[in-house]
Amino acid sequence: MITIDSRSSKPIYEQIIERVKENIIKGILKPGDKLPSVRELASIITINPNTISKAYNELERMKAIEVIRGKGTFVAESFKPIMDEEKLKEIKEHMKNIIIEAHYVGVDKDKLIDILNEIYREF
């Protein structure tokens, strides 16, 4: 369900957030699905429970998951994406860096758009 790259420069809690969001988008996790508890997930991927808790708190803040006391953590039933201008700015910056890298390895605009469409189809 969730794999972590311990060699990545990206913090582990961010990797967890990305994997959960990716699994929701791909339909692997559906609204109402129960997620492992913090302790369960920590033991499965051998990560400090505080790191899992930090990721879950951020996902809850994003309204992607919800915690029901005494029952567990679930994929939110009523998640609706909300345009976040700060996040959009961050996405644009990432895309700018991708375009620069693509240019330097000989990938033109049309090929880059094909790649983007291919990745979109995966979701």
Distance CA 13, CA 21 (A): 12
pLDDT at 3: 86
Spatial distance between the Cα atoms of 121 and 10, rounded to a whole number of angstroms: 25
What does the DSSP 8-state code read for residue 69?
T
| Res 54: pLDDT | 97
pLDDT class for 84, splitting at 50, 70, 90? confident
Q: For the structural domain made of 12-75, what CATH number should be given?
A: 1.10.10.10
Q: Read off the pTM.
A: 0.73
Residue ranges per structural domain of the chain: 12-75, 85-122
Instruction: Identify residue 80 by its one-letter amino acid code.
Output: K
Task: Please give the pLDDT value at position 2.
Answer: 84
pLDDT averaged over every residue in the chain: 91
Extract the tokens encoding 13: 């809690």
The pLDDT value recorded for residue 85 is 84
Which residues does 3 contact at the CB level (< 8 Å), separation at least 6? 19, 45
Q: Which of 1-10, 60-69, 112-121 has the lowest mean pLDDT?
A: 1-10
Q: What is the mean pLDDT of residues 46-52?
A: 94
For the chain, percent helix, then strand, then coil, each to nearest 5? 55, 10, 35
* Alpha carbon separation from 19 to 43, 105, 106, 114, 121 (Å, rounded): 17, 28, 30, 24, 17
